[in-house]
Amino acid sequence: MARQFQTVALTGKYSDPRVGDSMTQLATHLAGQGIRVLADPGAGMPPGLPVEAVAAPGLVQETDLMIAVGGDGTMLYAARLAAPYQRPLLGINRGRLGFLADVTRDEMIERVDEILGGDYVEEQRLMLEATLTDEDRSERGIALNDVVLQKRETGRTIDFENWIDGVFVNAHRGDGLIIATPTGSTAYALSGGGPIIHPSLGAVTLVPICPHTLSDRPIVVSAESRLEVRLIERSDAQAEVTCDGHVLGALSEGSRLHVRAAEERAILLHPRHHDYFRLLRSKLHWGRGKNNGNG
């Protein structure tokens, strides 16, 4: 059964002229159809528009649908807001690549109307839960793309171990480690030599960042795996952990990073014609010959 959308929340950086223009157009169009329109006060939408400013978490709790206007960074931010409340998310691409925000500005109104009318594809995406623990703290974060361990000082490598389901896997030396979902497999992990994983698969990839040993390669494990990372003692070792680019905290001697599949799932809405492989061809410039998948 198709969802009913009576209240829609907009998120994006209104100060960006490309984003602001689209948010204004969307707000006006939605309100004209009798839909209640909300926006995060931090978006900076000006007075006079048919929009109610509501701060999170009320913004998410009161809405039936979130629309993120911008690039994939905006989508990641919106996904972390929406996932705990299982609110669906639609992306309008006003950024560069747009792997997640797959609706263009030119088709924005048409596609939004289709989705409001129940004509859409709904997809649930795996998210990761990262927990940093030591004797004095426990910090938790969720990520749609990736959890990244990275060095904090330019020019210095870090030494760390990783464990899967309590079993020692390897000791690494390098710039860090990317733990990516299938969604994140086309992001930072791809630039590190990781594989592209279809979003429907229950898998996680571990990609070393600039490893000191060339045979230290990416591996793919089940999303049911429980991962642990420990920093190897070194007086000058400094590392930090990020979730979708947002700092969770420092990983230091004696602390542990635990990563597993999160209970939360990101619910993405796509137009009916959404095609993941066509998206890959477009964004990664594959198949520049005569066959574009039409024959």
Same-domain status, 249 and 184: yes
Determine the structural domain holding residue 37 and report its residue range. Answer: 7-120+271-284
Instruction: Report the CATH number that the domain containing residue 90 is assigned in CATH.
Output: 3.40.50.10330
Same domain, 166 and 138: yes
CB 245 within 8 A of CB 76: yes
The verdict on 13 and 79 lying in the same domain is: yes
Q: By three-state DSSP, how is residue 35 classified?
A: coil
Query: Region 260-274: what's the mean pLDDT?
Result: 95
Is residue 72 annotated as part of the catalytic site, yes or no?
A: yes
CATH number of the domain enclosing 249: 2.60.200.30
Mean pLDDT of 199-213: 96
Task: List strand residue ranges (DSSP E) for 134-238, in order.
Answer: 138-143, 146-151, 158-164, 167-174, 176-180, 203-209, 219-222, 227-231
The reply to whether 291 falls in a domain is no
Q: For the chain, give the mean pLDDT.
A: 92
Residue 294 pLDDT exceeds 60: no
Residue 292 inside a domain? The answer is no
What pLDDT score was predicted for residue 155? 73
Task: Please tell me the distance from the alpha carbon of residue 22 to that of residue 45, in angstroms, as a whole number.
Answer: 11
Verify that 97 and 207 share a domain, yes or no: no
Q: Pick from 59, 48, 64, 61: which is nearest to 12 by CA?
A: 59
Domain co-membership, 131 together with 219: yes
Q: What is the pTM of this model?
A: 0.93
Give the 3-state secondary structure of residue 158.
strand
- Residue 116 sits in the same domain as residue 21: yes
Q: What is the pLDDT of residue 20?
A: 94
Q: Is residue 2 part of a domain?
A: no
Looking at the chain, the whole-number percentage of residues with pLDDT higher than 90 is 76
Which of the following is catalytic: 16, 21, 64, 72? 72
Same domain, 139 and 245: yes
Phi and psi for 117 in degrees, rounded to 5? -85, 0
Mean pLDDT of 245-266: 94
- Residue 155, sorted as left (phi over 0), alpha (psi -120 to 50) or beta, turns out to be left
Number of domain units in the chain: 2
In the prediction, which pLDDT does 80 show?
95
* CB-based contact 257:248 (threshold 8 Å): no
Between 74-78, 98-102, 141-145, 217-221, the lowest mean confidence (pLDDT) is in 98-102
Same domain? 50 vs 139:
no
In the chain, the percentage of residues whose pLDDT exceeds 70 is 95
